[in-house]
A and B are shown apart, each in its own frame.
Chain A
Amino acid sequence: MWWLVAVARTKQRWLPAVLITLVVAMAVLFGSVQASATVSLPPRTADEILAMIARTEVRALSGTVEQTAELGLPEVPATGAGVAPGSASAMELLTGSHTARVYLDGPFKARLQLLDRLAERDVVVNGGDAWFYNSADNSATHLTAPVPSSAEVPSFAGPRESLPPTPSPDMSARDVPTPEAMASRFLAAIDDTTEVSVGESSSVAGRSAYRVSLHPRSTETLVDSVTIDVDSETGLPLGVEVRAKGQSEPAYSLAFTELHLSTPDAALFEFAPPPGATVMEKALPAKPVPTMPTPEGSPATSQPRPSVTGQGWDSIIALPAGSAPPELTSNPQFAQTMQPVPGGRALTTSLVSVLILDDGRIYAGLVPLERLQSAAAAQ
């Protein structure tokens, strides 16, 4: 029977190894379960929660936000290890996930740090000064403008506007893409076409939050639902999630992963370009005109006026002929991402469709491409 003893001893020796592995596995499981635990909060109606958002008085915060986009766009190839990422492209920001640190202090001081792998893109807004810094190519852009009065929010503002990779001329602290800024754009659009309901409360960035869901009543739009997580204490929106029809993963989400409601260090909002950086100076007109960010070199005379047709979630934004600058349409990268359609090129995602016609007309909306084409044909 000596071998039985030997087997027992062998098993005994493996026991601590098995136990430690189990403990580690349990810790991992417990950690992930705790992260998604629901919390119990006193029940509130949708109107009460919406009123909480409107009343929120959080003006200073520092936190980390994470943006995830699953729009069905082709994945931009990941940069290899140790290689600095190339110049930022708008497409790159609309695929995969990105992490950014946000610092806000009042309406005119903001800093956004987009944390890339081995690189960083910074936006620093301090009063009338705005700095954009890209560590990958060590370039800085300085915008000077008079302190904006009340921020004019563009009428159509989908997820495309978040985390702007290029300096957009209507930059103020309010436009820093926080869940609050995103939520306010969706909440502003609430009307008869939207059904508002209260979901199960959750925990976001370690804070208990109410969840409001917005369901479009229309069947034409690509949007299935928009959920907003609202901090139960302050009424600050902590996370926004947009779901597209026929897609199990959220098409777009922006949420805090870390949040402190204290005033950030004032030195964070002071920016001086580092020695050796290429600095570009830009002055803005006295009154910032909210337009879509156009690439440089487009003639200043062609500031197109967008017109909106349709209502609520079905609305289509249309820009007249000549809106698409020829530099853009001749860009090979543009040709790669846009699929050719009769009379122009189109970008279809699970949430947004954009149609650019050969004569320079642009149509965009949270609707299928066919709706854009019929709207274009109607004019």
Chain B
Amino acid sequence: MSAETAAPHSAGIVRPGIGWALLGSELSVLFRRLRTWAMLIALAAVPILIAVAVKLSSRPTTPGRGPLFLDRITQNGLFVAVTALVVCVPLFLPLTVGVVAGDTIAGEASLGTLRYLLLAPAGRIRLLLVKYAGAVAFCFAATATVAASGALAGVVLFPVGPVTLLSGDTISVGESALRSLLIAAYITVSLLGLSAIGLLISTFTDVPVGAMAATIVLSVVSQVLDNLPQLEWLHPWLFSHHWLGFADLLRQPISWTSFADNGLLQAGYIAVCGALAYAKFSNKDVLS
């Protein structure tokens, strides 16, 4: 029997409050976990490692080799954040998001706390939404951590000045901060589809590690498929297809096409995976 049908008649007035309270408690549990902090610190270390390595190496980096903008870090510290995001997007960010998204339902089930969450007159759909909101918050926190730590490391270790865009035009420091925020927003949106997939897988199992591993493996498989020219017809439907499209925000004028395409694609994944997750979760026998 689901919690929805069991809810008392007067619950309609109480529910909104409970929804926000549930979200608050979910966020505080998520961000008070040692594991969450360990992942954020690991992500923050990536740009610092890049910046220190470039600072210590005596040889100048050859243009055109290594990740994007690596050769320009020494001229302008603000490039550290972009370089770090390029490095993190294919593996590190999906890894951490997969851990959080795969843990959403399965983690509660394995700890035996899921039934207590459902005892509150919150309803399963509300619980799913709150769990997904928590994963989304982590997506943003993870991306912002990389960007902020990169900007900080760059400012400390290297000179700061006008930023050169991919088009060869230069923009001021202020506008570059704005574009960094846009890039962080783009990458957060990019990870929403993966979070929805993680949430869906999480409703199918009581073993959180299995859901995490499956989510991370899917993100890698999607990127491998995206690099096979034989599967060109499939590429626009892969959730990782636009992940590196944030480079379009570094052109002059900004090309918004990939931002819109990416948003639409991720919305499709959220709709389908969210609906399937709701169907599975509302049919699930919660035994633990």
- Find residues 265-287 in chain A having any chain B CB closer than 8 Å to their own CB: 265, 268, 271-278
Instruction: Knowing A78-B229, A87-B64 are in contact, say whether A21-B272 is a contact too (CB < 8 A).
Output: yes
Evaluate contact between B63 and A136: CB separation under 8 angstroms.
Answer: yes
Any B CB within 8 A of the CB of A139: yes
Evaluate contact between B64 and A20: CB separation under 8 angstroms.
Answer: no
Evaluate contact between A10 and B64: CB separation under 8 angstroms.
Answer: no
| Whole-angstrom distance between the Cβ of A244 and the nearest chain B Cβ | 19
Cβ–Cβ < 8 Å partners of A170 in chain B: none
Any A CB within 8 A of the CB of B67: yes
Any A CB within 8 A of the CB of B90: yes
Evaluate contact between B248 and A115: CB separation under 8 angstroms.
Answer: yes
Any B CB within 8 A of the CB of A81: yes
Instruction: Knowing A24-B268, A115-B251, A122-B167 are in contact, say whether A82-B63 is a contact too (CB < 8 A).
Output: no
Any A CB within 8 A of the CB of B58: no
Q: Select one of B68, B168, B283 contacting A118, CB under 8 A.
A: B68
Cβ–Cβ < 8 Å partners of B68 in chain A: 82, 84, 118-119
Contact with B along A186-208 (1 / 0, CB 8 A): 00000000000000000000000
| A273 vs B164: C-alpha distance when bound (angstroms) | 9
Q: Select one of A28, A81, A275 contacting B161, CB under 8 A.
A: A275
| Whole-angstrom distance between the Cβ of B258 and the nearest chain A Cβ | 9
Any B CB within 8 A of the CB of A137: yes
Any B CB within 8 A of the CB of A144: no
Evaluate contact between A16 and B167: CB separation under 8 angstroms.
Answer: no
Any B CB within 8 A of the CB of A64: yes
| Whole-angstrom distance between the Cβ of A365 and the nearest chain B Cβ | 29
Residue total for A at the interface (Cβ-Cβ under 8 A): 51
Evaluate contact between A81 and B223: CB separation under 8 angstroms.
Answer: yes
Evaluate contact between B167 and A84: CB separation under 8 angstroms.
Answer: no
| B226 closest partner in A (C-beta) | A81
| Whole-angstrom distance between the Cβ of B105 and the nearest chain A Cβ | 16
Cβ–Cβ < 8 Å partners of A14 in chain B: 279, 283
Any B CB within 8 A of the CB of A348: no
Evaluate contact between A13 and B244: CB separation under 8 angstroms.
Answer: no
Evaluate contact between A133 and B167: CB separation under 8 angstroms.
Answer: yes
Interface of chain A: mostly helix, strand, loop or mixed = mixed
Any B CB within 8 A of the CB of A83: yes
| Whole-angstrom distance between the Cβ of B276 and the nearest chain A Cβ | 5
| A271 vs B252: C-alpha distance when bound (angstroms) | 12
Most buried by B among A80, A122, A258: A122
| A17 vs B251: C-alpha distance when bound (angstroms) | 39
Contact with B along A37-68 (1 / 0, CB 8 A): 00000000000000000000000000010000
Q: Select one of A18, A87, A135 contacting B168, CB under 8 A.
A: A135
Contact with A along B240-284 (1 / 0, CB 8 A): 000010011001110101000000000010011011101100110
| A25 vs B253: C-alpha distance when bound (angstroms) | 33
Any A CB within 8 A of the CB of B87: yes
| A113 closest partner in B (C-beta) | B167
| A257 closest partner in B (C-beta) | B257
Evaluate contact between A101 and B255: CB separation under 8 angstroms.
Answer: yes
Cβ–Cβ < 8 Å partners of A16 in chain B: 275, 278-279
Any B CB within 8 A of the CB of A120: yes
| A338 vs B279: C-alpha distance when bound (angstroms) | 58
| Whole-angstrom distance between the Cβ of B89 and the nearest chain A Cβ | 7
Evaluate contact between B168 and A86: CB separation under 8 angstroms.
Answer: no
| B170 closest partner in A (C-beta) | A274
| Whole-angstrom distance between the Cβ of A172 and the nearest chain B Cβ | 20
Cβ–Cβ < 8 Å partners of B66 in chain A: 83-84
Instruction: Knowing A24-B272, A81-B227 are in contact, say whether A117-B247 is a contact too (CB < 8 A).
Output: yes
Evaluate contact between B275 and A276: CB separation under 8 angstroms.
Answer: no
Evaluate contact between B275 and A21: CB separation under 8 angstroms.
Answer: yes
Any B CB within 8 A of the CB of A294: no
Any A CB within 8 A of the CB of B55: no
Any A CB within 8 A of the CB of B19: no
| A23 vs B274: C-alpha distance when bound (angstroms) | 14
Any A CB within 8 A of the CB of B75: yes
A positions within 8 Å CB-CB of B: 10, 13-14, 16-21, 23-24, 28, 64, 75, 78, 80-87, 96, 101, 113, 115, 117-120, 122, 131, 133, 135-140, 258, 265, 268, 271-278
A-B contact pairs, 11 of them (CB 8 A): A19-B275, A20-B272, A81-B244, A96-B229, A113-B251, A118-B68, A120-B168, A135-B166, A140-B168, A275-B170, A277-B164
B positions within 8 Å CB-CB of A: 63-68, 71-72, 75, 86-87, 89-90, 161-162, 164, 166-170, 223, 227, 229, 244, 247-248, 251-253, 255, 257, 268, 271-272, 274-276, 278-279, 282-283
- Shortest beta-carbon contacts, A-B, top 8: A17-B279, A274-B164, A133-B168, A20-B275, A17-B275, A137-B64, A120-B166, A137-B63
